[in-house]
Amino acid sequence: MQVLDYQSIEKEAVPSLSFRKEMTVNQHPDLQEHLEQATLLGNGYRTKVTIYFHDDEGPRKVQTTIWAAGANYICLKGGIWIPISRIEKIQF
CA atoms within 13 A on the CB side of 7: 12
Residue 38 lies in a domain: yes
Q: Which domain holds residue 83?
A: 7-91
Closest CA to 73 of 35, 34, 30: 35
**Predicted local confidence at residue 24, as pLDDT:** 95
What tens digit of pLDDT does each residue of 3-54 get? 689 999 999 999 999 999 999 999 999 999 999 999 999 999 999 999 999 9
**Predicted local confidence at residue 83, as pLDDT:** 98
Write the CATH number for 57.
Answer: 2.30.30.100
**Predicted local confidence at residue 84, as pLDDT:** 98
Residue 86 has φ and ψ, to the nearest 5°, of: -100, -5
**Predicted local confidence at residue 2, as pLDDT:** 60
DSSP per-residue letters across 48-90: -EEEEEEETTEEEEEEE-EEEE-SSEEEETTTEEEEGGGEEEE
Count of domains for the chain: 1
Residue 1 lies in a domain: no
